[in-house]
Structure 1
Amino acid sequence: MVLAPALMGAQAARAAAGIERLREAARPMPAITFQDAEGAEKTLADFPGQGLVINLWATWCPPCVAEMPALERLARTLAAERIAVLPLSSDRGGRAVVEAFYQRIGLTGLGIWLDPRGAAARALGARGLPTTVIVDRQGQERARLEGDAAWDTAPFVAAIRRLVGPVAAPREPLVRT
């Protein structure tokens, strides 16, 4: 029983350390392209009005692998708020490699998104993997974090909600009398 509080304290410390590494800065997003699981080209314009958590990762990167379950839990937590988690894999083997990895570790709540030539990572100026970029609903980069993090912890979820902004309320139809 003594081990559980120690583990909880370690997780809290890891989450707090991660939040300190989250660099906030509002700036325009570069034009990036990536692929969905079927190989169709996608851009940020395919996600209008959504907040995005873009995670640059690879199956051969130990810190990337360590944070994937937390990213999956984050995706489930924020899905109803129109905040999408896009893990862009730089694995050259594409869908087959990512699918096998997801099956091996039991991930079922993340989409397969591919950046096999690293074009999105270069356009974003990533210095290494993993790198995560938070994009607000207007398509602006609001923050980024280099390295792994406990994305599903309360401090990160709150920061992402704040940075992305609220979901726009549906417009009332204009009624003329």
Structure 2
Amino acid sequence: MANGKLHLPTGRLIAVAVVAGMIAGALGVYVMGGSSGNNAAQVAVDETSMTAEEKSCAAKQERADAIDGAARGEVAAMMGAKPPRPLQDLKFNSPEGKPMSVADLSGKMVLMNLWATWCAPCRQEMPALNQLQQELGGDTFEVVAVNVDTGGDEKPKAFLEETGVYALGYYRDSTLGLFNDLKRKGLAMGLPVTLLIDEDGCMLAAMNGPAEWASEDAKRLIAAAR
């Protein structure tokens, strides 16, 4: 507990499972639950060397702190960025299969979630992400769930159909480039990883591990970010 805040949803156990086998030459790791040591949203910054984009995002610290304060219960592992940072250059494919980046979502707050069919906690939280999009999705907010399975589209599309996930756009990156980019930035320890990105492409908060995204706790978190 820090500043009166639990960094783990009540009653959840922490476990990290390593998936046997190689996924495109990379060891697959998925994360169960959150962690009080989840500091992926925090990064040391030399303000004198910051770019204009970095300074613009860093100026949103108060907004990130408000999100951090609203992270309770089922989404307690979500941590406000210190400082918020630009992620406009993150690349993946659109539901139409066209190359795009976070910059193309300008004007809309985004809850970006990276998932894979081989990641058990990812599979478990997809219906909740689908419900969150159904209830809150629109012109100003979208759940952008990016599938990172390597290979073809058959397996992830079959999973979405089997589980009745139809409200989410089929965003995709079969190269592991997006995950590896987030890993280099210190934001991804495994899957699932979820980022809250504002309408200017600034990351305000992040977490590793699953959450109950259809919960009232999650809805209050999104409300606090607006």
Q: Which bracket does the TM-score occupy, shorter chain normalised?
A: 0.7 to 0.9
Aligned match for 1:51, one of 74, 84, 109: 109
1:27 maps to 2:89: no
What is the one-letter code of the residue matched to 1:113? Y
The question of whether the paired residues in 1 share the 8 Å contact of 2:88 and 2:102 is answered with no
Identify which range, 28-37 or 49-58, moves more after superposition.
28-37
Structure 1 counterpart of 2:163, from 66, 86, 105? 105
Question: 1:17 Cα shift?
Answer: 4.5
SS in 2 for 1:21: coil
CA distance in 2, matches of 1:132, 1:147: 8
The alignment partner of 2:76 has SS state of: helix
Runs of 4+ in 1 over 4 A off after TM superposition: 11-17
The CA deviation at 1:16 is 4.7
Question: How far off is 1:23 after superposition?
Answer: 1.0
Larger Cα Rg: Structure 1 or Structure 2?
1
Instruction: Determine the C-alpha separation between the residues in 2 that align with 1:40 and 1:94.
Output: 15
Unaligned runs of 5+ in 1: 1-10, 166-177
* Equivalence map 1:95-174=2 (5 Å): 95-125=153-183, 126-163=188-225, 165=226
TM-score, normalising length: structure 2 = 0.63
The DSSP-based 3-state class of the residue aligned with 2:144 is: strand
Q: Quick check: 1:129–1:147 contact (8 Å CA) kept in 2?
A: yes
Q: Does the residue aligned with 2:112 lie in a helix, a strand or coil?
A: strand
Measured after TM superposition, the shift of residue 153 of structure 1 is 0.8
Q: CA separation in 1, counterparts of 2:160 and 2:196?
A: 23
Identify which range, 30-39 or 63-72, moves more after superposition. 30-39
SS at match of 1:110: coil
For residue 64 of structure 1, give the secondary structure of its aligned residue in structure 2.
helix
C-alpha contact 2:195 2:206 (8 A) present in aligned 1:
yes
Distance of 1:102 and 1:135 partners within structure 2: 24
In structure 1, the residue matched to 2:134 is 76
- Give the 3-state SS of the residue equivalent to 1:141 in structure 2: strand
Structure 2: gaps spanning 5 or more residues: 1-8, 13-70
Seen in structure 2, the aligned counterparts of structure 1 residues 74 and 110 have a Cα distance that, compared at 3 Å, is: same
State the alpha-carbon separation in 2 of the partners of residues 118 and 46 from structure 1: 20
Give secondary structure in 1 for the equivalent of 2:129: helix
Amino acid at match of 2:141: I
Does 2:145 correspond to 1:87? yes
What's the counterpart of residue 41 of structure 1? 99
CA RMSD in angstroms comes to 2.0
With a CA cutoff of 8 Å and minimum separation of 6, indicate the structure with the bigger relative contact order. 1
